[in-house]
Amino acid sequence: MTRSIHGLFALMLATALGFGQTAAQEKFITVASTTSTQASGLFDHILPIFQQKSGIQVRVVAVGTGQAIKIGEKGDADVLFVHHRPSEDKFVAGGFGVKRYDVMYNDYVVVGPKSDPAKVMGSKDVVGAFKRIAAAKAPFASRADDSGTHKMELSLWKEGAIDVKAASGTWYRETGSGMGATLNTAAAMNAYALADRGTWLSFKNRADLTVAVEGDRKLFNPYGIILVNPRKFPHVKADLGQAFIDWIVGKDGQQAIAGYTIGGESLFIPDAK
């Protein structure tokens, strides 16, 4: 038995060292980001360009904006790359982040079934469309996961003075999951949903869904990038993280973002100042 215990320790050590070494040899940073940036394929396009140039590996943990901010607040990431301006400002104001930079934007779209039971197809007024969906009690799939998209959706319902909490479980379906999973749900039940354009464009399982509402200024979806505060979390790789931020808001990074297209359509529009 002692022998097996020795073996156990040897193995744990070897495992830890083995994996630790890969980590130590490569320069890397951990970026907490949103499902939209990953599912849209943007990272697959831009990160290899950055890594080749800088030798820094970017490890992306893609979750909802709400959870990404929690990861940052615990100091478990070096950089935050998210899309919900009020949460981002609060993060910086709370001392968790150093400074927020504009990176890019795209817009949200309301997708829905081609049959269009709420008669909103082609509208440019998103709040009006939401009111009609509610009035028609047409099924609507909400992410309900505290993500940036979810927060945006809630603010739109609020503006239309619609109490979706009361309707939850009837026509208003809270999936509690990521953008892709919510779109899968919407496709399966012919529901309307709010999606970021990037994820929508790269989403393959559309079934009967199509874009119903777009072009409202309210659907503007800006992305920001923030270095997690090294004064609060000394282990944060401030130099490497800042190098990534400088690159992505610089000329090369902005070009890389603009260069990511699907079917000739840009998914994100760079807007760093």
Partner 1 sequence: MTDFGAAFAAAVSLIATLDAGLVEIVGLSLRVSLSAVFIATMISLPLGAAVALFRFPGRGAVVVVLNALMGLPPVVVGLIVYLMLSRAGPFGVLGLLFTPTAMIVAQVILITPIIASLARQVIEDLWEEYSEQLRSLGAGPRQAVGALLWDGRFSLFTAVLAGFGRASAEVGAVMIVGGNIDHVTRVMTTAIALEVSKGDLALALGLGIILIVLSVGITGAAFVLRESARRAHGA
Among 168, 205, 255, 261, binds partner 1 (CB under 8 A): 205
Contact 28, 57 (CB under 8 A): yes
Q: What share of the chain is helix, strand, coil (3-state, %, to 5)?
A: 45, 25, 30
CB of 223 to partner 1, least distance (A): 19
Spatial separation of the C-alpha atoms in residues 188 and 180, rounded to whole Å: 12
The answer to whether 187 contacts partner 1 (rule: CB under 8 A) is yes
CB of 38 to partner 1, least distance (A): 8
Per-residue contact string for residues 48-67; x = within reach of partner 1 by CB under 8 A:
---------x-xxxx-----
The answer to whether 19 contacts partner 1 (rule: CB under 8 A) is yes
The answer to whether 158 contacts partner 1 (rule: CB under 8 A) is no
Contact 184, 205 (CB under 8 A): yes
The answer to whether 238 contacts partner 1 (rule: CB under 8 A) is no
Strand partners, 79: 31, 227
Query: Smaller CB distance to partner 1: residue 204 or 217?
Result: 204
The full DSSP string for 18-67 is HHHHHHHHSEEEEEEEEHHHHHTTHHHHHHHHHHHHH-EEEEEEEE-HHH
Q: Which spans of this chain sit near partner 1 (rule: CB under 8 A)? A: 1, 4-5, 7-8, 11-12, 15-16, 19-20, 23, 28, 30, 35, 38-39, 41, 43-44, 57, 59-62, 74-76, 178-181, 183-184, 187, 202-206, 233, 235
